[in-house]
């Protein structure tokens, strides 16, 4: 698919334009510069023409291993995938020396560049900014307002000569209107990690990598795909946006999502961190399998358990990855302690798979993916009604439900009503009087009998019909 990369110095409106073209609020937007750190992609549509969009970090004049230097490397990596670069400058601030520096750099690249002047809401301001922008030597500038969706027809006219001829013809058959809702704010909270599948016909497993800050989530994603796709570093909170990456493992498509670290809610004060936390929680909700990354030197803090419980409540499949395992001295004792804490504190996901690994060294990542595929299949499991009812009869005969008002509370029938997660309906004489303890007894026995370890199993209790009413 034709790829457009949006680049520019920090805080010129790249992420706002990215969201506008994508038709969804995917990237975190804030007035402070440097919010975007990793480049992210999504499908967009401009005048009926589909585009693969790349949102990049602000260009910085840093070439070392600092945060800014690593952000610059991420942007350069995105440019290698682009068919056209949209170089965005700020029409209100005017052309800065940094804009001039990067314009000279872009002129040396082997990729066509379109110059966009953003924040051109008023005629007077836009005329002054446009006149100044000609001095960058990148051709005619396009006046834009990413916030209000203005100038997009002009942008398409500049992009059109670079599009494949057959796709230009398809685009011109459309209505001529920009293909996105007028009110971009109405899109807040819509599914972004439906991952805007670029490859048609594939059925990817949606896999979210979550955990506390600085446990190695981004390092793990890079180790899995074998390249430096997302930025890593010693600083906690390096990742802000939830970054979705397409990947194939043993013939199965995946959508890997690297997320921001989750801290205790009371500690999240900064608005950007709040948005990043919301992004992570939404990624969990829209995932199918969640990998919870723990630090082997400090595993299963209260926040880790809170995240795991949230995954269970959302009904996602869970795999626990214990990172930095190479730094643990007494591995046998550490693993035993971890198993004990999981069994005591995470009973609703009894038997959750645990994989020890070193993301930095790329050790044991294959075993992690095997567990992911295994639990994904369990999460999709469907059990026939006949064996379920044979199991129910045997289970109730061993341990009948407590009597209700002096009468037996018969558990009569069970069937599976959905998968993902496995959900069962059971018919009972008096459902309101069935204790929670007995429901847990049924769920635990279901999990053991039908080999569903580590999967959230849901039980819906329904009333049996009374033939005398």
pLDDT along the chain (469 residues), means of 10: 87 86 68 57 82 77 53 72 90 86 86 91 69 89 88 91 70 42 39 37 84 90 88 57 85 90 65 72 91 90 89 92 93 89 79 92 95 95 95 93 89 94 93 93 92 89 69
Q: Do domains 205-379 and 385-463 have the same CATH topology?
A: no
Report yes or no: 51 and 21 within 8 Å, Cβ to Cβ: yes
Structure tokens at 284: 């969990």
Q: Show the beta-strand stretches assigned E in 324-457.
A: 354-356, 411-418, 423-428
Residue 16 structure tokens: 């706002």
- What is the pLDDT, as a whole number, of residue 300? 83
Per-domain residue ranges of the chain: 3-187, 205-379, 385-463
Phi, psi dihedral angles at 462 (to 5 degrees) = -125, 160
With contact defined as beta carbons under 8 Å apart, do 363 and 326 qualify?
yes
Going along 91-146, which residue ranges are E strands? 113-118, 142-143
Q: Which residues contact 108 (CB under 8 A, 6 or more apart)?
A: none
Whether the full predicted model's pTM is greater than 0.75, yes or no, is no
Q: Write down the pLDDT at residue 404.
A: 85
Is the distance from CB of 352 to CB of 453 less than 8 angstroms?
A: yes
Residue corresponding to tokens 């795991």: 308
Start-to-end Cα distance in the chain: 63
User: Are 111 and 82 contacting, i.e. CB atoms less than 8 angstroms apart?
Assistant: yes
Predicted pLDDT at 190: 39
Helix (H, G, I), strand (E, B) or coil at 256: strand
Q: Which helix (H) or strand (E) holds 246?
A: strand 243-249
What does the DSSP 8-state code read for residue 135? G
Non-local (6+) Cβ contacts of 234 within 8 A are 214
Distance between CA atoms of 279 and 273, rounded to whole angstroms?
10
User: Residue 145's beta-bridge partner residues?
Assistant: 150
Q: Is the peptide bond before 421 cis (omega within 30 degrees of 0)?
A: yes
Paired tokens of 266: 């009371």
Helix 385-398 / helix 436-449 crossing angle, nearest 10 deg = 130
Amino acid 167: pLDDT: 58
The structural architecture, per CATH, of the domain 205-379 is 3-Layer(aba) Sandwich (3.40)
Whether 230 and 84 have beta carbons less than 8 Å apart is answered as no
- Res 369: pLDDT: 97
Q: Are 19 and 29 in contact (CB under 8 A)?
A: yes
User: Of 391, 351, 399, which Cα lies nearest the Cα of 375?
Assistant: 351
The stretches of 165-265 forming alpha helices (DSSP H) are: 165-172, 217-225
pLDDT computed for residue 268 by the predictor: 60
Judge contact between 178 and 150, C-beta under 8 A.
no
CATH 1.10.357.10: does it fit domain 3-187? no
Contact 128, 77 (CB under 8 A): no
Cα separation, 248 vs 256, in Å, equals 10
What is the CATH architecture assignment of 385-463?
A: 2-Layer Sandwich (3.30)
pLDDT of the residue at 459 = 95
**H/E element, 313:** helix 302-313
């Amino acid at each position: 698919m034709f790829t457009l990369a949006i680049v520019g110095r920090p805080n010129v409106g790249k992420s706002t334009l990215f969201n506008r073209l994508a038709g969804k609020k995917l990237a975190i937007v804030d007035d402070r510069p440097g919010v975007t750190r990793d480049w992210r992609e999504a499908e967009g549509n401009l005048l009926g023409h589909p585009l693969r969009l790349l949102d990049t970090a602000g260009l910085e004049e840093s070439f070392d291993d600092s945060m800014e230097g690593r952000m610059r490397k991420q942007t350069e990596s995105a440019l290698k995938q682009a068919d056209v670069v949209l170089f965005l400058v700020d029409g209100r601030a005017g052309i800065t020396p940094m804009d001039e520096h990067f314009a000279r750099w872009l002129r040396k690249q082997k990729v066509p560049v379109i110059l966009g002047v953003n924040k051109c809401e008023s005629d007077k301001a836009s005329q002054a900014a446009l006149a100044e922008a000609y001095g960058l030597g990148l051709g005619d500038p396009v006046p834009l307002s990413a916030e209000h969706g203005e100038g997009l027809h002009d942008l398409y006219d500049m992009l059109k000569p670079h599009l494949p001829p057959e796709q230009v013809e398809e685009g011109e058959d459309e209505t001529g209107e920009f293909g996105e809702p007028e009110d971009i704010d109405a899109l807040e909270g819509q599914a972004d990690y439906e991952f805007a599948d670029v490859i048609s016909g594939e059925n990817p497993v949606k896999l979210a990598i979550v955990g506390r800050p600085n446990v190695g989530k981004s390092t793990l994603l890079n180790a899995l795909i074998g390249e430096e796709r997302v930025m890593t570093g010693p600083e906690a909170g390096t990742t802000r946006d939830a970054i979705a990456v397409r990947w194939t493992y043993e013939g199965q498509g995946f959508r890997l999502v690297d997320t921001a670290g989750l801290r205790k809610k009371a500690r999240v004060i900064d608005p950007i961190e709040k948005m990043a936390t919301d992004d992570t929680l939404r990624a969990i909700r829209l995932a199918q399998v969640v990998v919870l990354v723990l630090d082997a030197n400090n595993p299963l803090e209260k926040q880790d358990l809170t995240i795991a419980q949230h995954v269970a409540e959302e009904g996602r499949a869970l795999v626990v990855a214990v990172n930095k395992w190479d730094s643990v001295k007494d591995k046998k004792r550490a693993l035993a302690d971890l198993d004990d804490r999981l069994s005591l504190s995470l009973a609703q996901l009894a038997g959750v798979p645990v994989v020890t690994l070193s993301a930095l060294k790329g050790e044991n990542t294959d075993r992690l993916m095997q567990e992911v595929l295994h639990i994904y299949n369990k999460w999709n499991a469907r059990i026939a009604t006949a064996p379920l009812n044979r199991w129910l009869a045997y289970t109730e005969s061993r341990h009948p439900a407590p009597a209700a008002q002096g009468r037996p509370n018969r558990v009569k029938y069970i069937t599976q009503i959905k998968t993902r997660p496995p959900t069962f309906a059971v018919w009972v004489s008096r459902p309101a009087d069935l204790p929670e303890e007995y429901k847990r007894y049924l769920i635990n026995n279901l999990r053991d009998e039908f080999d569903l370890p580590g999967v959230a199993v849901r039980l819906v209790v329904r009333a049996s019909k009374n033939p005398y009413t």
